[in-house]
């Protein structure tokens, strides 16, 4: 890889990246909520060439029993890449990387979910990466939070996530595969736009303080954008569900036989 | 932050949406308070009732509240109780003291067995989400025969309709006995044809839960399939 490193030019003299984006431009993001019938909540997401599906089950009885918490629900997440999601077939099953990602995503989600409402239960989140092109953990988290809201789980806010990084000496938003492989830093992060709380942040490579600050600024702006797309996905799913005039909110609790 | 406003002016909100910022209203169900402002915690419909903002959820699992009538399935038997699956995160015990029969210790299986279906009422819910159900109330009993269909519990009010209008139509046109549990289970009994038509009608309600004139649509469907119009039916 290092041999190609010098040959490939990630950003041209006009500041345009190899896929035609500007430094602070995101790949096109598309989210659809409620795509699976049997899951309590679900979301499908396409982010550039990334394709991710997320499903949420629960709150449901927590198994194994010893993991139950009598005071709150636990959020269990499984991030999984399909064997065909990358160009070299990925050996199926959890590996070091996907176990780590599962852990950080469940921790990010656990922070927003009102877990204390559902003692002794577990909320299970399954994230399947159908096609990967860098930034799947943030794509997975973005999809998972839409799926959680779709599942009717009470939570503080949706969680938009995005990666920033450094390629060819420039700070860039939302790295693609080439920038991720040949760039010099990768900084995925998740943030609640309203409060600015950071729920996930990891860094691979090196950034100076100035570059880091610039990256955070990019990410902040992008998170706001992603947040609106997430809400729009949910809104489209439930657009026609404003309730009809034929319903009584205070309906009789039991319907006796005629 | 503007939720989509539906025809009736009822607003759909999502987690994190600001509901009320100037202390005029008080936080109700499905909301949370942060920095003296009220935010939505759920995806649902915003409603304001006697100074409280509430969110009526549009989906999600059934969470019991005291007094709900539910249709449960016996899941397990203990010497002095039955475990009832009520479609909630945990099974609900039904103690022998809460049934209308006098049951000797260890004799529970003589009265109800695994797989039996009951119409029960939620007796108690505590903060650790332990529920109990009871059969000791008017109309509650073991259900014999019949069929069960499951719908999302959030659509139950639509199946019942305004003061029971919808369910009454289904009953009248299909000659079925129907019980609707708050947990989204519906029990029906009648002749095969009637059950099939009732199930179809319920599916129509579930799919088009929000459409206008749903009651009329369902009535039309039931009328068009009712046996009187079918020439060769007895």
pLDDT in 10s for each residue of chain A, 258 residues: 444 555 678 899 898 999 999 999 999 999 999 999 999 999 999 999 999 999 999 899 998 999 999 999 999 999 999 999 999 999 999 999 999 999 999 999 999 999 999 999 999 999 999 999 999 999 999 999 999 999 999 999 999 999 999 999 999 999 999 999 999 999 999 999 999 999 999 999 999 999 999 999 999 999 999 999 999 999 998 876 655 444 544 433 344 433
Q: From A243, which residue of chain B is nearest by alpha-carbon distance?
A: B210
**What's the pTM value of the predicted model, to 2 decimals?**
0.88
Query: Which residues in chain A have Cβ-Cβ distances shorter than 8 Å to B60?
Result: 40-41, 151-153
Q: What per-residue string of b and e applies to B39-64 under the rule 16 or more CB within 10 Å gives b?
A: bbbbbbbbbeeeeebbbbbbbbbbbb
CB contact under 8 Å between B167 and A255, yes or no, is yes
Q: Say yes or no for a CB contact (<8 Å) between B45 and A245.
A: no
Question: Looking at residue B86, what is its pLDDT?
Answer: 95
Q: CATH second-level architecture of B69-143?
A: Beta Barrel (2.40)
Name every chain B residue with its beta carbon within 8 A of the beta carbon of A243: 6, 8, 10, 45, 56, 210
Q: Report domain extents, chain B.
A: 11-57, 69-143, 147-229
Helical segments of chain A, H only: 2-5, 96-112, 136-150, 177-182, 209-238
Helix (H, G, I), strand (E, B) or coil at B37: strand
Strand A74-81 with A121-131, pairing: parallel
**B147-229: CATH superfamily:** K Homology domain, type 1 (3.30.1370.10)
Quote the minimal CA–CA distance from A188 to chain B in Å. Answer: 22
- CA A58, A78, B14: angle at the middle one, nearest 5? 50
Peptide bond connecting A64 to the previous residue in cis, omega within 30 degrees of 0 = yes
Domains B11-57 and B147-229 share a fold: no
CA distance A38 to chain B (A): 11
pLDDT for res A48 = 96
Q: Is pLDDT at B231 greater than 80 in this prediction?
A: no
Residue A149 pLDDT: 96
Backbone φ and ψ of A126, nearest 5°: -115, 125
Domain positions in chain A: 18-238
B167 contacts on A by Cβ (under 8 Å): 255
Confidence band of B232 (pLDDT split at 50, 70, 90): very low
Q: Is the pLDDT of residue B9 over 80?
A: no
Q: Do A251 and B179 touch (CB under 8 A)?
A: no
Q: Which residues of B touch A256 (CB under 8 A)?
A: 139
Torsion of CA A132, A137, A140, A145, to 10 degrees: -160
Using CA atoms, how far apart are residues A144 and A42, in angstroms rounded to an integer? 8
* Average pLDDT taken over every residue of chain B: 88
Q: How confident is the model at residue B20 (pLDDT cuts 50, 70, 90)?
A: confident
Q: What is the pLDDT of residue A6?
A: 57
Peptide bond into A19 cis (omega under 30): no
Copy the structure tokens of residue A12: 């041209």
Alpha helices in chain B (DSSP H): 156-160, 165-174, 192-207, 214-225
Give the model confidence (pLDDT) of B123-143 as tens digits: 999 888 889 999 999 999 999
| Nearest residue to A174 (alpha-carbon basis) of A227, A221, A229, A241 | A221
| DSSP state, residue B8 | T
Q: What single string gives the DSSP state of each residue in B68-114?
A: -EEEEEEEEE-SSEEEEE-SSSS-EEEEGGGSSS---TT-GGGT--T
| Comparison of pLDDT for A142 and B152, the residue scoring more | A142
Contact call for A242 and B182, based on CB within 8 A: no
CATH number of the structural domain A18-238: 3.30.230.70
Is the pLDDT at B160 greater than 80, yes or no?
Answer: yes
Query: Does domain B11-57 match CATH 3.20.20.60?
Result: no
Look at residue A242 in the predicted model and tell me its pLDDT. Answer: 56
């Amino acid at each position: 890889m290092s041999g190609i490193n010098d040959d490939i030019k990630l950003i041209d003299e006009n500041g345009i990246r190899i896929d035609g984006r500007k430094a602070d431009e995101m790949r096109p993001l598309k989210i659809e909520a409620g795509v699976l019938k049997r899951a309590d909540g679900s979301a499908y997401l396409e982010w550039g060439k990334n394709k991710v599906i997320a499903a949420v089950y629960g709150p449901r009885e927590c198994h194994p029993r010893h993991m139950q918490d009598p005071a709150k629900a636990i959020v269990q997440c499984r991030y999984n890449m399909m064997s065909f999601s990358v160009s070299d077939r990925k050996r199926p099953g959890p590996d070091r990387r996907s176990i780590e990602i599962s852990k950080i995503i469940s921790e990010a989600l656990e922070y927003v979910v009102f877990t204390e409402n559902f003692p002794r239960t577990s909320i299970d989140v399954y994230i399947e990466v159908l096609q990967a092109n860098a930034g799947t953990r943030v794509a997975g988290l973005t999809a998972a939070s839409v799926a959680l809201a779709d599942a009717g789980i009470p939570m503080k806010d949706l969680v938009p996530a995005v990666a920033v990084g450094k390629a060819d000496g420039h700070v860039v938003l939302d790295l693609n595969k080439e920038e991720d492989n040949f760039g010099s830093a990768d900084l995925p992060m998740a943030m609640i736009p309203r409060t600015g709380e950071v729920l996930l942040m990891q860094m691979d490579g090196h950034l100076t303080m100035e570059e880091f600050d610039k990256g955070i600024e990019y990410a902040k702006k992008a998170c706001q954008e992603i947040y609106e797309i997430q809400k729009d996905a949910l809104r489209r799913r439930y657009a026609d569900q404003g309730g009809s005039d034929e319903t009584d909110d205070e309906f009789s609790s039991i319907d006796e036989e005629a | 932050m503007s939720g989509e406003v539906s025809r009736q002016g009822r607003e759909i909100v999502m987690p994190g949406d600001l509901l009320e910022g100037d202390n005029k209203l008080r936080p109700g169900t499905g909301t949370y308070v942060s920095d003296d402002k009220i935010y939505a915690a759920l995806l649902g419909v915003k409603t304001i009732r006697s100074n409280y903002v509430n969110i009526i959820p549009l989906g999600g699992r059934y969470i019991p509240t005291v007094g709900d009538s539910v249709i449960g399935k016996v899941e397990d038997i203990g010497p002095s109780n039955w475990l009832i699956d009520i479609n909630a995160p945990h099974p609900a015990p039904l103690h022998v003291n809460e049934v209308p029969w006098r049951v000797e210790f260890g004799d529970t299986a003589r009265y109800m067995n695994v797989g039996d279906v009951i119409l029960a009422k939620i007796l108690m819910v505590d903060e650790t989400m332990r529920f109990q159900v009871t059969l000791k109330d008017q109309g509650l009993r073991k259900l014999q025969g019949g069929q069960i269909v499951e719908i999302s519990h959030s659509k139950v009010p639509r199946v019942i309709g305004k003061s029971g209008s919808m369910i009454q139509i289904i009953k009248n046109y299909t000659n079925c006995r129907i019980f609707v549990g708050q947990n989204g289970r519906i029990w029906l009994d009648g002749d095969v044809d009637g059950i099939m038509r009732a199930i179809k009608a319920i599916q129509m309600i579930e799919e088009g839960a929000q459409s206008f004139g749903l009651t009329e649509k369902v009535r039309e469907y039931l009328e068009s399939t009712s046996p009187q119009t079918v020439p060769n039916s007895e």
